[in-house]
Chains A and B, each alone.
Chain A
Amino acid sequence: MLFRPILLSLLAVATVTPAYGGPSGRHSANAVEYSGRAVSEGVSALATGGAVVSSAPIIAFGSSVAITGSALEEIGNGALDVGTALSRVGTEGSNPQQDAAPNGPPRLD
């Protein structure tokens, strides 16, 4: 009597799980696929020497903007880097007070 509903449920669950499980990992999880790195733990499991170990935004406007050297993506090993966790902290789930009055429309002048 319950066989069909149970089967349906199991089938549905089995069908749905990949829809969440696959995409739920952050994009850097792809680096795990390729390079064997567990990005979220900051662990490097691939010793190709290709990983970016540091980067700093170039603040000086007006400087030439060109892609050079190691910033060019290589094909094959080293093409994908381990991600760098910038922060594990933040503003936890709290809803800021909504009593602030909005400013005017955004303007850059």
Chain B
Amino acid sequence: MRYVFRFLAVLCLCLPLTARAGSSEAGNPVLPIDQVATFSNRVQHDLASRGVHVAIVGRVGRDPSQLPRGIRYTHIGFWVFSNVTRADGSTGTGYRVYNLYQRGDNASRSELIQDSPADFFAGAHRFDAGVIIPDRRLQEKLLRVIASPTYAALHNPSYSVLANPRDGRFQNCTEHTLDVLMAAVYGTSDRSQIKANIAAHFAPQDIRVDGLQRLLAPAASRALTTADHGAQVRTATFGSIGRFMRAHDLAESVYYITPDRVISY
């Protein structure tokens, strides 16, 4: 019996390493709300000044010191230039964010949520936005997909923090973004075709997860499953999507924004 408890203790202590590789977590707000609004406006104005209709934007949703190597942004979504109407009747034009979010009441499930730029950054640990601006032609294709039933049809609500983008059993925010991107590039809503193209042309980010962590993590949360992976755990990330888009001339630019700088990758 004592070994069982010791085993459990070791198990629990091992797991947080894996959890931090996640893609869509939200923590308690850690940044002042007024600064969140200011920063989200800064990102909006930056995109507008470049004439962007659709961009992929990432946020740092975890303490960066705790993130696995190769991971900088833990959540990404499509920012779509839109007409906005508020409940008080006021209107405007700006960006709305199309997200896949892990559900708060069930960590192994997700749903598609549209929110504001400030919502997007509310849980950020740092004022740092990763931005991928797709080629103008791709923006048009993306708009058509996002505004179509394909966008929701490509959603798989079975959530895994480390979902394998080449496999359809689980999905996280980066994988859904990649699926939508591939649907736009290849003009298809066929999931099999999208997965085949991802397997052939997209290089996901390697994540270092040792065997014990892989074995024990699902006991703590089903969202930590790696059942859809082979020997090596690989997942889609902001960085790997950016590299893929640059390698195939699908991106106009890739950069990050802080409160006082805009830096190209």
Contacts and interface: CB of A to CB of B under 8 A. Distances in A.
B177 interface: no
A19 B19 contact: yes
B48 A67 contact: yes
Contacts of B38: 73, 75
Contacts of A28: 26, 99, 101, 113, 115, 119
Interface residues of A, number: 82
Contacts of B220: 16, 20
B1 to A, nearest CB: 6
Contacts of B65: none
A90 B110 CA distance: 10
A55 B82 contact: yes
Nearest to A38: B104
B101 A73 contact: no
Interface string A14-42: 01100110111111111111100001100
Contacts of A91: 153-156, 168, 191
A19 to B, nearest CB: 4
Contacts of B91: 69-70
A99 B196 CA distance: 8
A80 B34 CA distance: 11
B112 interface: yes
A71 B20 CA distance: 32
Candidate in B29, B107, B111, B138 with the most chain A CB atoms within 10 angstroms: B111
B201 A12 contact: no
Contact of B25 (A24, A39, A82): A24
B19 A23 contact: yes
Interface string B148-181: 0001111111100000000111100000000000
A31 to B, nearest CB: 5
A72 B92 contact: yes
Given A57-B143, A88-B111, A24 B157 contact: no
A80 B249 CA distance: 35
Nearest to A56: B83
Interface string B4-16: 0110110111011
Interface in B112-127: 112-120, 122-123
A33 B154 CA distance: 30
B85 A40 contact: no
Contacts of A67: 41, 44-45, 48, 92-95
A23 B196 contact: no
9 contacts: A27-B123, A40-B103, A55-B82, A57-B143, A65-B48, A67-B44, A71-B84, A85-B111, A91-B168
Given A25-B26, A57-B96, A88-B157, 6 more contacts: A12-B9, A20-B107, A22-B27, A27-B24, A52-B85, A102-B196
Interface of B: 1-2, 5-6, 8-9, 11-13, 15-16, 19-20, 22, 24-29, 33-34, 36-38, 40-41, 44-45, 47-48, 50-53, 59, 61-62, 75, 80-88, 90-96, 98-99, 101-105, 107, 110-120, 122-123, 135-140, 143-144, 146-147, 151-158, 167-170, 182, 185-186, 190-193, 195-197, 199-201, 220-221, 223, 228, 248-250
**5 residue pairs, one from A and one from B, having the closest CB atoms:** A71-B94, A26-B101, A69-B92, A23-B25, A25-B104
